[in-house]
Structure 1
Amino acid sequence: MINIVYVESSLELVPSEIIRHPSVRRNAKRKGKPPEENLLDRSLHHWAMDRLDNSEKRGRPDIIHFLLLEALGSPLNKTGELRIWIHTVQDLCIYVNPEARLPRDYNRFKSLIEQLYVDGRSPPNGDTILLELRKININQLRDSLNPDFVIGLTSRGEPSSFETLSKSLCDFNNPMVCIGAFPHGPYQKETASIMNKQINVYPEPLEAWIVNSRLIYELEKCLNVYNSQKIL
């Protein structure tokens, strides 16, 4: 079983500091929602975000949308070899049911996440939970997953390759891989502190979804999932 955690994801509701900004209020009015129930989105709230701390890491829900679509639709997930978690830039965690089928449309995805933040789970009622917002930090998530090794992927890490990294991960019973789901910049100290090792898989920085897809593919080869009879 491989645990992939998308860390410091640029996923949050509009913070109170900018709730009265014209661009925020205009977008909220258009959607018919209170400003504080809308996702922070750089493409809509660019001018308002200039006054936010750590703004370069915030307001990019499109990144986690790409990552989740890739991971949930992968043979690695379909064979039951993958567990996915989201850790947000606000240090909250989101459980992702491996059977979740998320909207392909970006605006529908944002609406789903907005509902998740308001209700704490999606769907809001019923026995089946596809997404659940949990008020635990990254250290508590690591403790709950109890991995035997934690690797963080970063351009500042020890040089390696996707193939070498994947073979190394397959030697563990319950490894955890951290992929940064934010535009650019280093990990926060709290996030980096949970990692046993930081690895750089390419000489130049790569987009998160490229890292995600290449790693998943190499893990699938390593675990021989293409010859598995477990694919649903």
Structure 2
Amino acid sequence: MVIKLLLLIILVICNLEDLNVPKTVFLFADSAIEPIPRELFNDEIIRKFALKKNKKPSEILLDSTYHHKPMKKLSNYKKRGRPDIIHFCLLNLVGSTFVLNNLTEIEIYVHTIDNKIIEIKPYTRLPKNINRFKGLIVQLFKQKKIETDGNILLRVLENENLESVLNSIDPNNRFLFSSKGYEMDLEKVFEKNNAMDLAFIIGAFPHGNFSQQINCLTKNMASIFPESLNAWIVLNKIIFFRELTLK
């Protein structure tokens, strides 16, 4: 009886500790992942590629590895067609000890270059193979959600916008990371805000600038290095110092 009581007390204490863990929201902004746009459907390279895959162009993700030449017909093409960036970021994030130890206090959103918003549950195990990942995202765009055993893993938020998904986070506690921002000491800032709910906005595109709607989400544009860094490098630094300062 005493042992059972002690176990119950430990469980209650653990649950109380969990309640004290602040929320962390990750938003990958302007992510370079989208289906092949309609204006490229009749391009010869696109048609041949789709025929080879035995798919419609709308069932294929735009990828500069294969579609670089036709992509030049698109506006802002240098910012598009890099699904590998968000794939690598998500693998790093959902596989991190920070996320695995704080599943109930993590929210993950992917905002795409064509203005879709995807929610990814932190317990989701994503395919490590890029082609399988791309296939999963095409399926998601078609079905609007991916679930297993009744649990939703990924879903397209059709009735949400960027402000609504960040609504629970005070604008002063949102950080947009850019080499054009003010110099930020992650450890000091995170230590100061270690009891606060925070949102981190990271660009998941190869070149260019954030769209205006992303810039409007916060006035806190922060830089951790004077030059542009790969998105996953920025992400991993955020993960490390957020986890470190929450302990």
Could you tell me the TM-score, scaled by structure 1's length?
0.90
Residue 124 of structure 2, aligned match among 96, 100, 122: 100
Tell me the secondary structure at the aligned position of residue 51 of structure 1: coil
Contact 1:76–1:82 (8 Å) recurs in 2: no
2:198 pairs with 1:178: no
**Residues 140 and 71 (structure 1 numbering): CA distance in 2 closer, same or farther, change over 3 Å?**
same
Alignment partner for residue 164 of structure 2, among 115, 130, 140? 140
Query: Quick check: 1:212 aligned with 2:235?
Result: yes
Q: Aligned-pair distance for 1:184?
A: 2.0
- State the partner residue of 1:153: 177
More helix by share: 2
Alignment partners' CA distance in 2, 1:9 and 1:27: 23
CA distance in 2, matches of 1:167, 1:184: 31
2:112 to 76, 85, 88: 88
- CA shift for structure 1 position 171: 4.1
Distance 1:184 1:165, change over 3 A: farther
Cα distance change, pair 22–197 in 1 and its aligned pair in 2 (3 A): same
2:210 maps to 187
Deviation at 1:219, TM superposition (A): 1.0
Q: How much has 1:194 moved relative to structure 2?
A: 0.8
2:69 matches 1:47? yes
1: distance between equivalents of 2:35 and 2:157?
A: 15
Tell me the alpha carbon deviations over residues 70-126 of structure 1, each in whole angstroms, 9 at most, x when there is no partner: 000011111124221111111211010111000000110000001011111114x75
Q: Check the 8 A contact 1:160/1:201 in 2, yes or no.
A: yes
Kindly state the Cα deviation for residue 169 of structure 1 after the two structures are TM-superposed.
4.2
Deviation at 1:54, TM superposition (A): 1.4
5+ long unaligned stretches in structure 1: 225-232
> What's the % identity of the aligned pairs?
34
Which amino acid letter does the alignment assign opposite residue 108 of structure 1?
R
Which stretch of the first structure deviates more once superposed, 69-78 or 154-163? 154-163
Q: 1:7 is matched by which residue type in structure 2?
A: A
Give the distance between the partners of 1:165 and 1:30, measured in 2 at CA: 51
Alpha-carbon offset, residue 163 of structure 1: 2.0
The match for 1:199 is 222
Match in the other structure for 1:2: 24
Deviations 1:126-183 (A, max 9, x none): 521111011233223223xx202211000000111332343244242x2111000111
| Matching of residue 60 in structure 1 with residue 82 in structure 2 | yes
Q: 1:161–1:202: 8 Å Cα contact kept in structure 2? A: no
Matches within 5 A, 1:112-131: 112-123=136-147, 127-131=150-154
Would you say how many aligned residue pairs link Structure 1 and Structure 2? 220
Which region of structure 1 is more displaced relative to structure 2, 89-98 or 60-69?
Answer: 89-98
Secondary structure, counterpart of 1:122 in structure 2:
strand
SS at match of 1:130: strand
Aligned partners of 1:208, 1:165: CA distance in 2, in Å? 20
Larger of the two Rg values belongs to structure: 2
Q: Output the amino acid matched with 1:175.
A: L
Give the CA RMSD over aligned residues: 1.5
- Unpaired runs of 5+ in structure 2? 1-22
- 3-state SS, counterpart of residue 213 of structure 1: helix
Question: What is the distance in 1 between the residues matched to 2:149 and 2:100?
Answer: 23
| Corresponding residue for residue 29 of structure 1 | 51
Q: Does structure 2 retain, via aligned residues, the 8 Å contact 1:92–1:138?
A: no
Looking at structure 2, the residues matched to 193 and 68 of structure 1 have their Cα atoms a distance apart, in angstroms, of 24
Which amino acid letter does the alignment assign opposite residue 244 of structure 2?
Answer: K
